[in-house]
Amino acid sequence: MTPPPNDPSPDHSGPPAGKPARWTSGIFRSRYREVTWEAIVFGVVIGVIMNAAITYSGLKIGFTIGGSAIAAVLGWGVLRGLLKKGTIVETNLAQTVASTVNTSNSGVIFTVPVLFLLGLQAQIDVVWLIAACMAGATLGVAFIIPTRKQMIDLERLRFPTGTAVASVLRSPGEGVAKAKVLLLGILVSMVVFFFTQSQDVFGFGYASLGIPGVDNETIDVAHWIQAAGLPWHPSMQFTWAIAPFALGAGFITGRPGLVVLAGGLLAGFVITPLAYEWGWIPPEVGAEAAGGWALANMNKPLGIGLLMGGALVGLLFAFPAIGAALKSMRAASAKGDSDELPLSVLYASIGIAFVVLFLAANATLAEGSMGQAALIALVGTAWMWFAGIVIAQCTGMTDWSPISGMALLTVMICLVLTGNHVISAVMIGAAVCVSITECADMMQDLKTGHLVGGSPLRQQFLELCVAWIGPGVCLAVVYVLAKNNMDSFGVYFGEGTTSPAPQAAALEGAIDGIRGGSAPVSLYAMGGVLGAMLSFSGIAGLGVLVGLSMYLPLMYLLPYGLGCLVQMTLARAKGAAWTESWGVPFAAGMIVGEGLLGVIFAIVKVLGGGA
Amino acid sequence: MKSGISNWLLVIGVIVGALAAAGSKKAYRWVELDPSVDLSGEVLYETVEFQRVEGEKPLLIAEGGAALDATVVTRLTNSNFERIRVRHPARDAETVPIAEAEGRVLAHAVTVEGETDELRQGRIVTADLVLRAQEAGVESIRVKRGAEDDSQARALLTAEPPLPAREGDPRDERYWGRDPKSKNYVPLSGPDANLKDLVLAETIELPRRLKQNSFLDAERLALLQRQGLEQVDVSVHVPFDWNGWTQRWYFLASIGIIGAAIALKRGSRDEAVSSDGGTPAAALHGALEELVRESARLAETASKLDAEALHAAIDPIHSGALYRLVEGKDSAQASLGLIGYAHVYGPLATGERMLNRAWSAAVDGYVEEARECAERAAPHFAEALSAWPKS
């Protein structure tokens, strides 16, 4: 055990003797290295780099990668390895800052490029777009203050990535054997995941093996079943994603995650084949394509409805507990003993965000009234809170967050509020999406902080200080890329450029559909009723979990469910404590390994590497 | 027993409800083959056959997609069909006058004559670009593949089979080689098409095109009107029809089934808590008492322990009483109710975080911090115990 480099000043994370201190007084003073300039600078620099790289790759390949695990590993290497003075909680803070700066990219790239695709770029008021996104990011952080206690202390959601990051940070104290298990998990994950991505870069992958049914990223088990002459309905897709991350997340979630698998099976193995057999799916859609059709037209809208209905009733049920948590926060705050940001910060953030959203809506709504702008700002602010809680809950329960579905729903609501004014709708939608991604990310980091003993007050304070940076960085990348694409290809984004912005292109199609009146509102409503009913069952998060699983592609839910089953089997065979003690580090390694290699491959692809 | 039944009811309710909801999106509706009903404009959903004698080849009455005209209706009624499935909507698209198209979406892409898009050199060649060029009558475009200096190659857009270059052809073979073996032969369409890494080697202009599914706002409609278009194909959207949703009663039944499951579940939970002697709650209370004792002992001795000893002393608390309490949170919530649970598990979580901090500080060698956090954890656990209801 290394002796501390310094241990002089008293810790101010708790109350000093005498009169209550201001809540800011203890943030920077601590005898245990936690809030340091090294951690902040490292976090901001890594966050900016990751944000720019992931924004670029996200516009190119269509999905983003979470930065927490990478930031934790890098933070560990730099603060503890190179600078020789990083502590566990300091690295947690550095990783928190980095992921806060990084995480807003999915909110921006799923929405803002739509305006370019629709040819509305000249009408964007960039200043207000940036201001709205920054306000969204700040509010996303602030909204977490009253819900941290609910989700982490009371609901004790697992947040698989947050737990995995904590495993990485705690590894020096867990003993050599557990560190080896963690490293083994990382290694196994990287080897398994490597061949899913290597085709484009090295010219070979799993598909090169020439095994029927095996593609670079998936294994089609239905193909094997049919090849063996066993009965199988052709509309039932039984494809497994080669995703060690999903396996690890399922393992960490354990038994509660089985509901996710069950929902996926309901969508893929019950609704789809029956809808096909009963002729609900148009005859021209073949059996092989039936799964995709049913997902897009039935299961996904129904899943979004279930998710929202389940979350809404779950939230109503949680109000008494949230009230109790707020009461204890107020009491602690009055005594000067609070370990959270005070509620006044939340109220101030809500006020500022409302004003910014109001001004932004007012500036972009050419023919709108002040009342309409105020309504948009009010609903936008309330929706940020609700949608942020939904996303944080999904992430906490499964590690998946339905950002694209929420973006669609958000833009739909904003279109209704703005009277189909696309620019305002997308701008407010972008602010909301940035806000909810911040919520989910921050909750992951706070979970990590809880597990390593970090101070929520310090984490929240620093997140509040740096949250605005992220939207600025990714919007800058979006605009630079747009200009570059215009110079090179004659178009800003989309087909024919190196940045097809697939998620935004999908949203563009959805916006046209919504404006044309084809949004599946009836399915949202029916799903909402079912989700609400399920939340009355008393099984925590049932409506949300079933909804999420009907929304996600089954190929990722299968390895996730396998992870849950492996955890349950091990817990039965070796005991729950043994499984927690030895299984979780390995599962954490699986999550971290894929995340690390995913970023490396994304960078290689962005730099133009390819066979 | 009740719990098992309620779980099964919940599963059945969800399956029935989800299926019934999905049924609202079915792509057909039933129509009665009643001579008094006007079926003009309806389209058969699927191919209809009639088997007069078992074992014989069925007789084709009409192909799926056929219009339900008088002949088809007569054939169907003669074959004893009383009702039949028709497409809903009958057509995916309809043609409407431009003046009525505002607020609809384009069913197909529309080429806007007279206005062009500039597709710059370096633009990636996609299947859509090839299609647009072909529609515009472009025979070939200059392309290059990746970093290869192949910019003199011309890619053929015509679907004609490749022809050998003719002697005396004024066109340079390098440009126009139609021999598949020539490196300059770049098929852009058909089975041999390979667009990977292909970019335009020169800037071209193609007629502007409104994409399929484009929303028709006033500006776009004005553009189409300027082309002299009087009509346009728009997608048909079917609004939700309560009466047409034949599965609605199943959906309502599923709500009833889920409701029954919830009632059973709540009943069985109350029963378990009251008659079961509150076994889980008693065990959890015992675990909390144990946690309070152990954390108090740690707090008392912390000042005498070094970092390594502190680290070793915290581990058993984590994996012992604290672990059992965390694992039993659902039972605790059922026993204590939401508010009671929040009063116990709130301070418990704060104490747990303090203990985690003590552990981390001990691992990092910050012994004073570790000692202080170990001492500060104990009162939180005691607070949790005091919040546990006495009865």
Q: Could you give all domains of chain B from N- to C-terminal order, each with its CATH number?
A: 110-210 (no CATH), 278-387 (1.20.120.330)
Quote the pLDDT of residue B182. Answer: 53
pLDDT band at A89; cut points 50, 70, 90: very high
Quote the pLDDT of residue B276. Answer: 39
Mutation choice for B interface testing from A2, A88, A326, A485 by most B CBs within 10 A? A88
Chain B contact for A608 (CB, 8 A cutoff)? no
Does residue A235 lie within any of the structural domains?
no
CA–CA separation, A548 and A253 (whole Å):
15
> Who among A274, A321, A530 is closest to B338 (CB)?
A321
Chain A contact for B174 (CB, 8 A cutoff)? no
pLDDT band at A24; cut points 50, 70, 90: low
pLDDT band at A3; cut points 50, 70, 90: very low
Burial of B103 (0-12, 13-18, 19+ CB in 10 A): middle
**SS3 state at A136:** helix
pLDDT band at A498; cut points 50, 70, 90: confident
Question: What's the whole-number mean pLDDT along residues A90-104?
Answer: 91
Say if residues A43 and A97 touch (Cβ distance below 8 Å). yes
Contact call for B103 and A516, based on CB within 8 A:
yes
Chain A contact for B74 (CB, 8 A cutoff)? no
Query: For residue A191, what are its two tokens?
Result: 């080897």
Q: CA dist A484 to A489, A493, B129, B144, B204, Å? A: 8, 10, 20, 20, 19
Please compute Rg for chain A using Cα positions.
24
Interior CA angle at A435 toward A430 and A439, to 5°?
150
Q: CA dist A395 to A157, A373, B69, B306, Å? A: 9, 32, 55, 39
Chain A contact for B82 (CB, 8 A cutoff)? no
- More reliable by pLDDT, A346 or A278: A278
Tell me: the pLDDT tens digits for A452-464? 999 998 999 999 9
Chain B contact for A512 (CB, 8 A cutoff)? yes
Tell me: the pLDDT tens digits for A409-429? 888 888 888 888 888 888 888
Chain B contact for A339 (CB, 8 A cutoff)? yes
pLDDT band at B187; cut points 50, 70, 90: low
Question: What's the whole-number mean pLDDT along residues A382-410?
Answer: 85
- More reliable by pLDDT, A536 or A240: A240
Chain A contact for B364 (CB, 8 A cutoff)? yes
Contact call for A173 and B311, based on CB within 8 A:
yes
User: Nearest-CA neighbor of B209 among B119, B121, B94?
Assistant: B119
User: Nearest-CA neighbor of A534 among B251, B3, B11?
Assistant: B11
Contact call for A149 and B366, based on CB within 8 A:
no
Say if residues B18 and A530 touch (Cβ distance below 8 Å). yes
Contact call for A2 and B339, based on CB within 8 A:
no
CA–CA separation, A181 and A162 (whole Å):
18
Contact pairs from chain A to chain B, CB under 8 Å: 249
Please give the residue of chain A at the shortest CA–CA distance from B195.
Answer: A496
Chain A contact for B361 (CB, 8 A cutoff)? yes
Query: For residue A198, what are its two tokens?
Result: 């290597």
Query: For residue A130, what are its two tokens?
Result: 């940036």
Contact call for A530 and B17, based on CB within 8 A:
yes
For A101, half-sphere exposure in the C-beta direction (CA atoms, 13 angstrom radius) is 25
Cis status, amide bond into A212, omega within 30 of 0: no
Q: What is the number of residues in chain B?
A: 391
pLDDT band at B275; cut points 50, 70, 90: very low
Chain A contact for B324 (CB, 8 A cutoff)? no
For residue A219, what is the DSSP state?
A: E
**SS3 state at A240:** strand
From chain B, pick out residues whose CB is under 8 angstroms from the CB of A534: 10, 14, 258
Quote the pLDDT of residue A286. Answer: 86
Residue whose token pair is 């960490």:
A252
DSSP H or E segment with residue A603: helix A584-606
Query: For residue A112, what are its two tokens?
Result: 């803002």
Please give the residue of chain B at the shortest CA–CA distance from A517.
Answer: B237
Tell me: the pLDDT tens digits for A285-297? 888 899 999 998 8
CA–CA separation, A266 and B252 (whole Å):
19
The Cα of B13 is separated from the nearest Cα of chain A by a number of Å equal to 9
Residue type, A342: P
**Relative orientation angle of helices B329-364 and A422-452, to the nearest 10 degrees:** 70
CA–CA separation, A383 and A403 (whole Å):
14
HEC string for chain B: CHHHHHHHHHHHHHHHHHHHHHHCCCCEEEEECCCCCCCCCCEECCCEEECCCCCCCCEEEECCCCECCHHHHHHHHHCCCCEEEEECCCCCEEEEEHHHCCCCEECCCEEEEEEEEEECCCCECCHHHHHHHHHCCCCEEEEEECCCCCCCCEEECCCCCCCCCCCCCCCCHHHHCCCCCCCCCEECCCCCCCCCCEEECCCEEEEEEECCCCECCHHHHHHHHHCCCCEEEEECCCCCCCCCCCCHHHHHHHHHHHHHHHHHHHHHHHHHHHHCCCHHHHHHHHHHHHHHHHHHHHHHHHHHCCHHHHHHHHHHHHHHHHHHHHHCHHHHHHHHHHHHHHHHHHHHHHHHHHHHHHHHHHHHCCHHHHHHHHHHHHHHHHHHHHHCCCC
Does residue A297 lie within any of the structural domains?
yes
> Who among A495, A523, A536 is closest to B21 (CB)?
A523
For A142, half-sphere exposure in the C-beta direction (CA atoms, 13 angstrom radius) is 24
B residues 207..226 contacting A (CB < 8 A): 213-215, 217
User: Nearest-CA neighbor of B176 among B165, B188, B161?
Assistant: B165
CA–CA separation, A358 and A342 (whole Å):
25
How many Cβ atoms sit within 10 Å of the Cβ of residue A507? 23
Tell me: the pLDDT tens digits for A324-369? 777 777 777 776 667 888 888 888 888 888 899 899 888 887 676 7
B residues 134..163 contacting A (CB < 8 A): none
Chain A contact for B115 (CB, 8 A cutoff)? no
Residue whose token pair is 């598990």:
B345
How many Cβ atoms sit within 10 Å of the Cβ of residue A465? 16
Does residue A474 lie within any of the structural domains?
yes
Tell me: the pLDDT tens digits for A146-186? 788 888 998 899 899 899 899 888 888 777 788 888 889 99
Chain B contact for A537 (CB, 8 A cutoff)? yes
Does residue A379 lie within any of the structural domains?
yes
Chain A contact for B338 (CB, 8 A cutoff)? yes
Question: What's the whole-number mean pLDDT along residues B114-121?
Answer: 84
Tell me: the pLDDT tens digits for B225-249? 888 888 999 998 888 888 888 899 9
CA–CA separation, A349 and A136 (whole Å):
10
The Cα of B164 is separated from the nearest Cα of chain A by a number of Å equal to 31
Contact call for B26 and A522, based on CB within 8 A:
no
CA–CA separation, A414 and A360 (whole Å):
13
pLDDT band at B146; cut points 50, 70, 90: low
Contact call for A31 and B342, based on CB within 8 A:
no
Residue whose token pair is 């516009």:
A59
Query: For residue A232, what are its two tokens?
Result: 């199988």
- More reliable by pLDDT, A577 or A546: A546
> Who among A517, A521, A537 is closest to B10 (CB)?
A537
CA–CA separation, B66 and A14 (whole Å):
78
Interior CA angle at A157 toward A407 and A180, to 5°?
105
Output phi, psi for A240, to 5 deg: -105, 130
Q: Which residues pair with B206 in a beta bridge?
A: B117
| Total domains present in chain A | 1
- More reliable by pLDDT, B46 or A562: A562
DSSP H or E segment with residue A220: strand A218-220
**Relative orientation angle of helices A456-466 and A37-61, to the nearest 10 degrees:** 60
For A118, half-sphere exposure in the C-beta direction (CA atoms, 13 angstrom radius) is 27
Output phi, psi for B386, to 5 deg: -70, -25
Contact call for B364 and A156, based on CB within 8 A:
no
Chain B contact for A352 (CB, 8 A cutoff)? no
Chain A contact for B86 (CB, 8 A cutoff)? no
CA dihedral A161, A162, A166, A168 (to 10 degrees): 30
pLDDT band at B191; cut points 50, 70, 90: low
Q: CA dist A420 to A102, B215, B234, Å? A: 31, 11, 19
> Who among A324, A515, A529 is closest to B215 (CB)?
A515
**Relative orientation angle of helices A584-606 and A244-253, to the nearest 10 degrees:** 150
Whether A565 shows a pLDDT value over 90: the answer reads: yes
Q: CA dist B275 to A481, B268, B270, B279, Å? A: 67, 10, 8, 10
The Cα of B166 is separated from the nearest Cα of chain A by a number of Å equal to 34
From chain A, pick out residues whose CB is under 8 angstroms from the CB of B263: none
Mean pLDDT, all residues of chain B: 82
CA A154 to chain centre: 21
Q: What is the number of residues in chain A?
A: 611
Does residue A102 lie within any of the structural domains?
yes
pLDDT band at B159; cut points 50, 70, 90: very low
β-bridge pairing B154-156 and B186-187: parallel
Chain A contact for B360 (CB, 8 A cutoff)? yes
How many Cβ atoms sit within 10 Å of the Cβ of residue B82? 9
Domain housing A534? 37-119+158-224+245-606
CA A213 to chain centre: 31
